[in-house]
Structure formats: structure tokens, C-alpha cells
Amino acid sequence: MPPLSHSVDCSGCSLAVSEYPAQGRAKGVVVAGHAMMANRRTLDRPRGRGLASTLAEAGLHVYTFDLRGHGQSSTAGNSHWNYDEIVRGDIPAVVDWVRARHPALRLGLLGHSLTGHASLFWLGLTPRAPVDALVLYATNLWLPQFEPTNWVWFRRRAVLFIWELLCKPLGYFPARRLRVGSEDVPLSFVADLRRWARTGSCICATDGVDYLSLRDNVRQPVLAITGEKDRFLCPLEYCQQFLAPVPDHRIYCAPNANHMTVVTRELSRPAWEHTAQWLVEQLDRPLSRQMEESVTSKNQQWRRDKKKTADDFQTQ
């Protein structure tokens, strides 16, 4: 059965969502987002047997979505979107929409690479977010304090410099033309990541918040999956350093997987099944009526907080 298609509004952007209904008794719900220069289709490869389908087979409702400017999602006429709009716009909008569809189920958030660190920063920024567990696939950031040697950092800085240089004449990085991804990304987004690599701080250009400093605010249990052969984009030691301040986290290394095959190839099925088992353990706890009322109250408070944060952010 093909996934069901939906669309979620986010400040004028239309975010494309695919729904994979839980098989058997529903044990929880999962919102899952993709990597940079990719789209939600990567989260269920091979189709019908990929990560999303594996989670659904375990009894979890799964919603995969395209970030703005990726896949079938729009940009509301603004092609110069940046990292902050993902953290404070796309992710909370989809979580809010899914939470409203399943008020009696606990919710897990799963992110691959870009959606992973953006989700972590959002949870650090928003402690009241209605999320019960977080899964990160191949998630880290290139920052100088995580580098084991100056030579490795020089290579990564060179890649970032060339990446931004290629963006400047066009205003975006032509990933499709260069066959390094299925989706192009704007210079405004690339400039955020390069600025962070240069300064060692993940400062929001609009309000000065340092996302990196928020990691110890995350209260949800975190499972991180990294690929054994992901030696350049997200090595295991990078993941360990990136997650060190997060209070409750564990790391699973997927054998023979690299940055993309950890979510796109069946060789990573043991990691997918481990993810499904861990999420069921975290989410399959029934809510009492009193707890449901508490969750509803927290959701309402969170929506008020989210609206205030969005209004404050837009007026900066």
C-alpha cells in the first residue's frame, strides 16, 4: 500500500508529507525528516521496505516530510530561506500538525543529518515541545572544536569554501546539476553553515541565539545512529563530541553504512530494526485520562509559546 499524501502549511510554505499507517495496534507516532539536498523519499528506500516502512511494521504511525525548498515542498516565493526557518518553522509546524492528529499517542521525532541537528536545536530551544523521544541518523556539524587534527579540518574548511564559492554566481548550490544531491540549496543557507564553521558557534543571524549552547536543554531520550563507513561527513567520534552535552543519549554504529546508505540501503536494516525497537520502548506507554489532559494542556501552552516565538522572530 503506497503512503498517504498530505500537505502542511508553514507561514505560507506548503510542506509535503507522506503517511505510513501503523500495522496492527498503534504504539506511537513518528515524524521523520531527511538530509540536506535530499527529500523524504530517501526515508523509505527500497520503497515499501525502507526505514519508514520498517517503523510502521513495528506498530508506529510514521509521517515523513520534505523541508522547504526540497522535494514537493514550496518556499512561499522565498527562495532565499535559511537554517533558522527550518528550526523555527518547518519542524514545529509538522510536529504540531501530527500531534493534533494523534493526541492520545506519544510522539517521536527522527532526523537524518540536516533534520537531525535542526531537531536537536529546536528541542533545546523549546523545552515544552510535545516530543517524547528523538532519533538522529548521521547527525553532527563541521566545527573546529570537534576536529581531531588540523589537516582534517583544513580539508573540511576547503570543502565549505568551494561549496560557498560555487553558490555565489547563481545564488544557490546546483546540487542536481553537479549530481551530488536531488535538491538545490540557496546561498543564504550555505552561508549559515560556513559562518558557523568559521566561528565555531552556531549563532542565529536574526536574534543571536547560539544553537550549540542549547544541547544540554534537551530533556528527551536520544538515540543516535552513525554509519561505520561514514568517515568524512559524520564520523563516530564527531557524533560523540556533538552529543556529549545531551543528558540522555546513546549511540549505535551501523556496520558497513555510510552517510546516505544508513537510511537508503537494506544493509542498514539492523539499525532500522534497532530504531523501531527503541522507539516502541520509549513510546508504547498508554496515557491515562489525566495524562491525556495534561498533554493537551501542554500542547496548547506549547502552541502559544510557538506562536509568540514565531511572531518575535519575524519582527527581528
* CATH number listed for the domain at residues 4-141+209-315: 3.40.50.1820
What pTM, to 2 d.p., does this model score? 0.91
pLDDT of residue 290: 45
pLDDT digits (tens, 9 = 90+) for 149-161: 888 899 999 999 9
pLDDT digits (tens, 9 = 90+) for 110-130: 999 999 999 999 999 998 899
For residue 314, is pLDDT > 60?
Answer: no
* Percent of the chain predicted with pLDDT > 70: 90
Q: For 24-48, what is the mean pLDDT?
A: 97
SS (H, E, C) the chain: CCCEEEEEEECCEEEEEEEECCCCCCCEEEEEECCCCCCHHHHHCCCCCCHHHHHHHCCEEEEEECCCCCCCCCCCCCCCCCHHHHHHHHHHHHHHHHHHHCCCCCEEEEEECHHHHHHHHHHHHCCCCCCCEEEEECCCCCCHHHCCCHHHHHHHHHHHHHHHHHHCCCCEECHHHHCCCCCCEEHHHHHHHHHHHHHCCCECCCCCCEHHHHHHHCCCCEEEEEECCCCCCCCHHHHHHHHCCCCCEEEEEECCCCCCHHHHCHHHHHHHHHHHHHHHHHHCCCCCHHHHHHHHHHHHHHHHHHHHHHHHHHHC
For residue 166, is pLDDT > 90?
Answer: yes
For residue 43, is pLDDT > 90?
Answer: yes
For residue 203, is pLDDT > 80?
Answer: yes
For residue 228, is pLDDT > 60?
Answer: yes
Q: For 94-108, what is the mean pLDDT?
A: 96
For residue 254, is pLDDT > 50?
Answer: yes
pLDDT digits (tens, 9 = 90+) for 256-296: 999 999 999 999 999 999 999 999 999 998 775 545 555 55
pLDDT of residue 289: 54
Q: Which range (5-9, 16-20, 42-46, 303-307) has the least confidence?
A: 303-307
Domain ranges of the chain: 4-141+209-315
